[in-house]
Structure 1
């Protein structure tokens, strides 16, 4: 269950969404919204209001003569109830 969420996303859009109490994560492709909501609420002790998800297109990569694709993953935007937050950086 802990391998469902890969990493938080910190792009310009994701930073703008932080002001609206929305957080972006890359997750495993096989995960659905119900599993992710349950995992985020348990792990971070927050209340999730909504989840929007989409699969990003695969990118073609080439190493020498071998052509392949990048790994598949989903991106989710999670909206939290007001008063809750997820610490993305440690204070140390």
Structure 2
């Protein structure tokens, strides 16, 4: 197995992912392209000491963006939505003391 730092790039924090985290116990990560769902599950379990129930992945294509007369594209992203076992959590922001 690859080291978990070679699989997970960063968590994706948006309003939609925060809602999924609160209601369905799902966390969204940006992962390296070409990794399997099994490798993603093992990486999340190793990094956060939780039990993974299910992994869904998606390839997000780049979007065209404009700033004035300049046109460019955003980078393509490989996302993984990971469902965690009920009763377990992942602290993304640290503990509030």
TM-score w.r.t. structure 1 length? 0.83
Whether the 8 Å contact between 1:29 and 1:72 is mirrored in structure 2 is no
Task: Could you tell me which runs of 5 or more consecutive residues in structure 2 were left unpaired when the two chains were aligned.
Answer: none
Asked if 1:88 is matched to 2:92, the reply is: yes
1:13-24 paired onto structure 2 within 5 Å? 13-19=16-22, 20-24=24-28
- Structure 1 moving runs of 4+ over 6 Å: none
Asked if 1:11 is matched to 2:14, the reply is: yes
The one of 43, 52, 55 equivalent to 2:56 is 52
Task: Could you tell me which runs of 5 or more consecutive residues in structure 1 were left unpaired when the two chains were aligned.
Answer: none
Number of aligned residue pairs: 91
Bigger fraction of residues in helix: 2
Deviation at 1:75, TM superposition (A): 0.7
Deviation at 1:61, TM superposition (A): 6.3
